[in-house]
Amino acid sequence: MGFLGSPSMASSSSSSSSSSSLSSASLYGAAFLLWVLVLNGAAVCNGGSTSPFVRKVEKSVDMPLDSDVFGVPPGYNAPQQVHITQGDHVGKAVIVSWVTQDEPGSDVVLYWSKNSEEKKEAKGKHLTYKFYNYTSGYIHHCTIRNLKFDTKYYYEVGIGQTVRRFWFVTPPEVGPDVPHTFGLIGDLGQTFDSNSTLTHYEHNPHKGQTLLFVGDLSYADHYPNYDNVRWDTWGRFTERSVAYQPWIWTAGNHEIDLAPEIGEKIPFKPYLCRYHTPNKASGSTSPLWYSIKRASAYIIVLSSYSAYAKYTPQYRWLEEELPKVNRSETPWLIVLMHSPWYNSYNYHYMEGETMRVMYEPWFVKYRVDVVFAGHVHAYERSERVSNIAYNIVNGLCTPVQDQSAPVYITIGDGGNIEGLAINMTEPQPKYSAFREASFGHAIFGIKNRTHAYYSWHRNQDGYAVEGDSLWFYNRYWHPIDESTSA
Per the CB < 8 A criterion, the answer to whether 267 and 131 are in contact is no
Judged by beta carbon distances under 5 to 8 A according to partner kind, the member of ligand NAG, Fe ion, none in contact with residue 216 is Fe ion
Q: Could you tell me the smallest distance in angstroms from the CB atom of residue 133 to ligand NAG? A: 4
Stretch that binds Fe ion, among 266-274, 308-316, 367-375, 473-481 (CB under 5 A): 367-375
Provide φ and ψ at 167, rounded to 5°: -150, 160
Q: Could you tell me the smallest distance in angstroms from the CB atom of residue 198 to ligand NAG? A: 7
| DSSP E strand stretches across 186-228 | 210-213
Binding to Fe ion by CB under 5 A, coded x per residue (else -) over 240-279, reads ------------xx--------------------------
Judged by beta carbon distances under 5 to 8 A according to partner kind, the member of Fe ion, ligand NAG, none in contact with residue 223 is none
Please give the Cα distance from 245 to 242 (Å, whole number): 5
Q: Could you tell me the smallest distance in angstroms from the CB atom of residue 187 to Fe ion? A: 6
Could you check whether the bond before residue 427 is cis, i.e. omega within 30 degrees of 0? yes
Among candidates 243, 274, 269, which has minimal Cα distance to 256? 269
Judged by beta carbon distances under 5 to 8 A according to partner kind, the member of Fe ion, ligand NAG, none in contact with residue 252 is Fe ion
Beta bridge partners of 157: 164
Among candidates 144, 140, 155, 126, which has minimal Cα distance to 88? 144
Please give the Cα distance from 444 to 185 (Å, whole number): 11
Question: How far, CA to CA in Å, does 397 sit from each of 44, 45, 356, 357?
Answer: 20, 18, 12, 11
Q: Among all residues, which ones are annotated catalytic?
A: 348
Judged by beta carbon distances under 5 to 8 A according to partner kind, the member of Fe ion, ligand NAG, none in contact with residue 253 is Fe ion
Nearer to ligand NAG, 250 or 339 (CB): 339
Buried b (16+ CB within 10 A) or exposed e, 328-343: eebbbbbbbbbbbbbb
Please give the Cα distance from 287 to 280 (Å, whole number): 8
Nearer to Fe ion, 339 or 387 (CB): 339
Please give the Cα distance from 389 to 265 (Å, whole number): 39
Beta bridge partners of 292: 299
Does 377 bind Fe ion (CB under 5 A)? Our answer is no
Q: Could you tell me the smallest distance in angstroms from the CB atom of residue 29 to ligand NAG? A: 36
Please give the Cα distance from 292 to 283 (Å, whole number): 11
Nearest residue to Fe ion by CB is: 375
Stretch that binds Fe ion, among 224-232, 368-376, 388-396, 465-473 (CB under 5 A): 368-376
Residues 208-247 that bind Fe ion (CB under 5 A): 216
| E strand or H helix at 384 | none
Does 375 bind Fe ion (CB under 5 A)? Our answer is yes
Nearer to ligand NAG, 13 or 133 (CB): 133
Q: Is 432 exposed, middle or buried (0-12, 13-18, 19+ CB in 10 A)?
A: buried
Nearer to ligand NAG, 116 or 326 (CB): 326
Provide φ and ψ at 436, rounded to 5°: -155, 140
Q: Could you tell me the smallest distance in angstroms from the CB atom of residue 62 to ligand NAG? A: 10
Nearer to Fe ion, 78 or 301 (CB): 301
Per the CB < 8 A criterion, the answer to whether 347 and 377 are in contact is yes
Nearer to ligand NAG, 129 or 134 (CB): 134
Q: In the Cβ-directed half-sphere of 220, how many Cα atoms lie within 13 Å?
A: 25
Q: Could you tell me the smallest distance in angstroms from the CB atom of residue 70 to ligand NAG? A: 8
Nearer to Fe ion, 99 or 217 (CB): 217
Please give the Cα distance from 258 to 250 (Å, whole number): 17
Residues near ligand NAG (CB under 6 A) are 63, 67-69, 133-134, 192, 195, 199, 225, 326, 328-329, 346, 423, 447-448, 450-451
Q: Could you tell me the smallest distance in angstroms from the CB atom of residue 311 to ligand NAG? A: 27
Judged by beta carbon distances under 5 to 8 A according to partner kind, the member of Fe ion, ligand NAG, none in contact with residue 68 is ligand NAG
Judged by beta carbon distances under 5 to 8 A according to partner kind, the member of Fe ion, ligand NAG, none in contact with residue 87 is none
Judged by beta carbon distances under 5 to 8 A according to partner kind, the member of Fe ion, ligand NAG, none in contact with residue 255 is none
Chain contacts with Fe ion (rule: CB under 5 A): 216, 252-253, 375
